[in-house]
């Protein structure tokens, strides 16, 4: 990667939200989110290290300036690394999507002491799968169990694969997350074994959006781009043979796509 890319710059050079005129920016994001909502899509805004919205103060300022159409993507590790309380963010603004990753505090201290870049921090091992670092996940586990949350929880590692074997850490993350949740009603995909996708959006089939999307991605593999049934072989190829049913529109409005482990 070129050295001048933002994520190759020292963390001390992170842009600040105060450096821009926030109201016009928030208005544009809100308008975009409203347009997405009209298409049945909820925008999940991702705060991130080395980005405009990073610290607890910036997260609060941004979401207080945007409309309710803008949802929050809760990222446990980016909050921790920015010295923000993810539990406080969760309680104050709610969440529509979750990224679940851990931070090694010892490495984090060295990253700030030496003013390393984001990419250098990853190579140094700042991040790991949940359970391998120092983030307390009690609050997020309680939230998922008790709140009725039906969205995604995406488990990340973001480590050097030479130092941390992806399969080993994927298996660890799956086991640790299952143990943390301890709730049979929470569906978890075991990415180390064949799994299937439960499509909970009949609208994708009825208006051909799924067919059109897959045709654009893989035109040579779909014989009839306007017939959703022609997408099934492609989906089965990439997601396993047990492609599952489509459930009601009401559930889709709450969940969108949902993955579940094979029974």
- Domain of 124: which CATH number? 3.20.20.150
pLDDT of residue 259: 32
pLDDT bucket at 187, cuts 50 / 70 / 90: low
| Pairing state between β 127-128 and 102-103 | antiparallel
What's the whole-number mean pLDDT along residues 17-36?
95
Q: Is residue 50 part of a domain?
A: yes
What's the whole-number mean pLDDT along residues 137-146?
87
Least confidently predicted of 6-20, 28-42, 138-152: 138-152
Q: Which domain holds residue 206?
A: 194-263
Q: Taking 80 as the threshold, does the pLDDT of residue 8 lie above it?
A: yes
Q: Is residue 21 part of a domain?
A: yes
Q: Is residue 1 part of a domain?
A: no
pLDDT of residue 201: 36
What's the whole-number mean pLDDT along residues 201-222?
46
**Do 172 and 201 share a domain, yes or no?**
no
Q: Is residue 43 part of a domain?
A: yes
What's the whole-number mean pLDDT along residues 174-193?
60
**Do 97 and 161 share a domain, yes or no?**
yes
**Do 47 and 139 share a domain, yes or no?**
yes
Least confidently predicted of 39-43, 97-101, 173-177, 181-185: 181-185
Helix (H, G, I), strand (E, B) or coil at 138: helix
**Do 23 and 148 share a domain, yes or no?**
yes
């Amino acid at each position: 990667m070129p050295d001048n890319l933002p994520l190759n710059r020292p963390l001390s050079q992170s842009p600040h939200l105060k450096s821009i005129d926030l109201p016009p920016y928030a208005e544009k994001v809100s308008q975009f989110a409203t347009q997405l909502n009209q298409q049945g899509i909820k925008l999940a805004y991702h705060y991130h290290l080395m980005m405009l919205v990073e610290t607890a103060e910036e997260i609060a300022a941004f979401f207080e300036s945007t409309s309710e159409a803008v949802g929050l993507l809760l990222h446990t590790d980016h909050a921790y690394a920015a010295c923000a309380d993810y539990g406080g963010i969760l309680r104050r603004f709610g969440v529509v999507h979750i990224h679940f990753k851990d931070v090694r505090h010892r490495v984090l201290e060295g990253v700030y002491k030496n003013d390393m870049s984001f990419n250098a921090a990853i190579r140094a091992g700042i991040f790991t799968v949940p359970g391998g670092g120092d983030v307390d996940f009690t609050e997020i586990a309680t939230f998922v169990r008790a709140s009725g949350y039906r969205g995604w929880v995406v488990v990340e590692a973001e480590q050097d694969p030479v130092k941390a074997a992806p399969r080993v850490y994927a298996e660890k993350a799956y086991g640790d997350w299952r143990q943390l949740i301890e709730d049979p009603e929470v569906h978890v995909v075991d990415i180390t074994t064949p799994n299937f996708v439960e499509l909970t959006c009949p609208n994708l089939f009825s208006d051909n959006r799924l067919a059109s999307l897959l045709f654009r991605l893989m035109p040579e593999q779909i014989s009839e781009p306007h017939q959703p049934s022609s997408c099934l072989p492609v989906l089965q190829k990439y997601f396993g043979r047990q492609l599952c049913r489509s459930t009601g529109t009401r559930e889709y409005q709450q969940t969108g796509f949902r993955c579940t482990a094979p029974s």
